[in-house]
């Protein structure tokens, strides 16, 4: 019986080339699995047909936009997940979802192998293989682009030789990955980190330098989950789509950075994540109003570690799953409204309100009506500073 390989298929250069490479090198049949995480662009039927045209014996496509929004993007918002304090995990969030569907397809089609089109330099090879090791460790992994040492120019030549129906040419060498949560662009002239990105690089955001009227909106959260925009209740998918549209129109969410890849290489990446950046900013501000100080301080460390685990491909790890419980509990009272102004590439919070607010006007005000007893401050400071005071007196005595 001919072996079967389930291939993570995007419809782009690397995975289209991978179908032909697997067939030639292993003799196995390829089942292409394409997952729609909101990347847009092409109809799923077109992607399915392209996989078949490239040599797949079967092509499976799944619309997973709602699943991606609710089970992956929302937890990232609740965790304020920004790798290196800047990158909202655009690609990293979609990989465990794809891995989950690959594992399910491998079981259904009795596959013995799973394939991906990642290179040996990137993070995605780790994300796919670490995820599969957790969900379906019996599978063998084939990585045609990585294992054959095929560079991007060789892949383009292979595609042209085989007549594969793909769009990438030597004149358009960008590597682009996009989904509901954002868009990542690399390679080409961007590999020279002195070169600034040109306007043609962007697709999710309009030029923030162009003159336009500001956009004011109100985002409503319930237990850390964005549930409405301007009072209109929306599903997680609809919230992210609406915020992408409105924040993108104001040029919000452009990120140009050199990041530390998991494999140890520094990589220049250009990201667009208008909805993600605006929603995380809103969520952080509502947390500032509703989360107690020590819990908030501790959660900032958890948020950073959560983001690192997801970036590093450990979505299914015990630590990540345990941190999910903490993040959920910490968001229990993060309910209320955040008013924002989107303009000139920025999402600026201008108002907050919450029934669960810890902000007490009567304690905070400096005007008449202040209920804070300032006479308590002196004794508090004496006690608070006592350890440092005693230690420094000791040091002066023995210096």
Of 4, 48, 50, 95, the active-site residue reads: 95
**Is 177 known as a binding-site position?**
no
**Alpha carbon of 186 to those of 105, 141, 172, 294: distances in Å?**
30, 25, 12, 39
9 is in an annotated binding site: yes
C-alpha closest to that of 67 among 180, 171, 152: 180
The 10 Å Cβ neighbour count of residue 179 is 25
87 is in an annotated binding site: yes
3-class SS string, the chain: CCCEEEEECCCCHHHHHHHHHHHHHHCCEEEEEEEECCCCCCCHHHHHHHHHHCCCCEEEEEECHHHHHHHHHHHHHHCCCCECCCECCHHHHHHHHHHHHHHHHHHHCCCCEEECCCCCCCCHHHHHHHHHHHHCCCCEEECHHHHCCCCHHHHHHHHHHHCCCCCCECCECCEEEEECCEEEEECHHHHCCCCCCCHHHCCCCCCCCCCCCCEEEEEEEECCEEEEECCEECCHHHHHHHHHHHHHCCCCCEEEEEEECCCCCEEEEEEECHHHHHHHHHHHHHHHHHCCHHHHHHHHHHHHHHHHHHHCCCCCCHHHHHHHHHHHHHCCCCCEEEEEEEECCEEEEEEEECCCCCCCHHHHCCCCCCCCCCCHHHHHHHHHHHHHHHHHHHHHHHC
Residue 256 appears among annotated catalytic residues: no
Active-site residue, selected from the candidate residues 91, 94, 175, 267? 175
16 is in an annotated binding site: yes
Question: Does the annotation list 271 as a binding residue?
Answer: yes
15 is in an annotated binding site: yes
Q: Are strands 225-229 and 232-233 parallel, antiparallel or unpaired?
A: antiparallel
371 labelled ligand-binding:
no
The answer to whether 172 is annotated as binding is: no
169 annotated ligand-binding residue: no
| Active-site residue (options: 14, 36, 177, 312) | 14
12 is in an annotated binding site: yes
Active site residue 14: yes
Q: Is 222 annotated as a binding residue?
A: no
Strands 182-186 and 266-272: antiparallel
The whole-angstrom separation of Cα 238 and Cα 216 is: 18
8 is in an annotated binding site: yes
| Active site annotation includes 124 | yes
Question: Catalytic annotation on 147?
Answer: no
Q: Is 10 annotated as a binding residue?
A: yes
Which of 4, 48, 91, 124 is the catalytic position? 124
* Binding residue numbers for ATP: 8-16, 117
* Binding residue numbers for L-aspartate: 119, 123-124
* Binding residue numbers: 8-16, 87, 117, 119, 123-124, 127, 175, 259, 271
* Binding residue numbers for L-citrulline: 87, 123, 127, 175, 259, 271
What amino acid positions are annotated as catalytic residues?
A: 14, 95, 124, 175
């Amino acid at each position: 019986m001919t072996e079967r390989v389930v291939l993570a298929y995007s419809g782009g250069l690397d995975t289209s080339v991978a179908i032909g490479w697997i067939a030639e090198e292993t003799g196995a049949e390829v089942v292409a699995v394409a997952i729609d995480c909101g990347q847009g662009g092409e109809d799923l039927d077109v992607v399915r047909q392209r996989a078949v045209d490239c040599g797949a014996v079967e092509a499976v496509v799944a619309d997973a936009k709602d699943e991606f929004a609710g089970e992956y993007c929302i937890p990232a918002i609740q965790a304020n997940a920004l790798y290196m304090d800047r990158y909202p995990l655009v690609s990293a969030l979609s990989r465990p979802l794809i891995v989950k569907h690959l594992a399910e397809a491998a079981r259904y089609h009795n596959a013995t192998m799973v394939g991906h089109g990642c290179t040996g330099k990137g993070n995605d090879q780790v994300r796919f293989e670490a995820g599969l090791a957790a969900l379906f460790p019996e599978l063998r992994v084939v990585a045609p682009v990585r294992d054959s040492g095929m560079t991007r120019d060789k892949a383009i030549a292979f595609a042209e030789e085989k007549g594969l129906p793909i769009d990438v040419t030597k004149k358009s060498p960008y590597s682009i990955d996009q989904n509901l949560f954002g868009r990542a662009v690399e390679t080409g002239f961007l590999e020279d980190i002195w070169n600034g990105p040109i306007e043609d690089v962007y697709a999710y955001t309009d030029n923030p330098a162009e003159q336009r009227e500001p956009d004011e909106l109100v985002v409503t959260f319930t237990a850390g989950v964005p549930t409405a925009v301007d009072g209109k209740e929306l599903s997680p998918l609809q919230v992210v789509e609406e915020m992408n549209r409105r924040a993108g129109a104001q040029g919000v969410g452009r990120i140009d950075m050199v990041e530390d890849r998991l494999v140890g290489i520094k990589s220049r990446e250009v990201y667009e994540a208008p909805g993600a950046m605006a929603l995380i900013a809103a969520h952080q501000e509502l947390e500032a109003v509703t989360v107690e100080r020590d819990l908030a301080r501790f959660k900032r460390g958890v948020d950073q570690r959560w983001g690192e685990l997801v970036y590093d491909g450990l979505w299914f790890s015990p630590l990540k799953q345990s941190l999910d419980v903490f993040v959920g509990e910490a968001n229990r009272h993060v309910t209320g409204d955040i008013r924002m102004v989107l303009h000139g590439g920025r999402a600026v919070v201008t108002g907050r309100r919450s029934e669960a607010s810890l902000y007490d006007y009567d304690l905070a005000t400096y005007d008449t009506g202040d209920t804070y007893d300032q006479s308590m401050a002196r004794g508090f400071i004496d006690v608070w500073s006592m350890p440092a005071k005693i230690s420094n007196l000791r040091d002066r005595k023995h210096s």
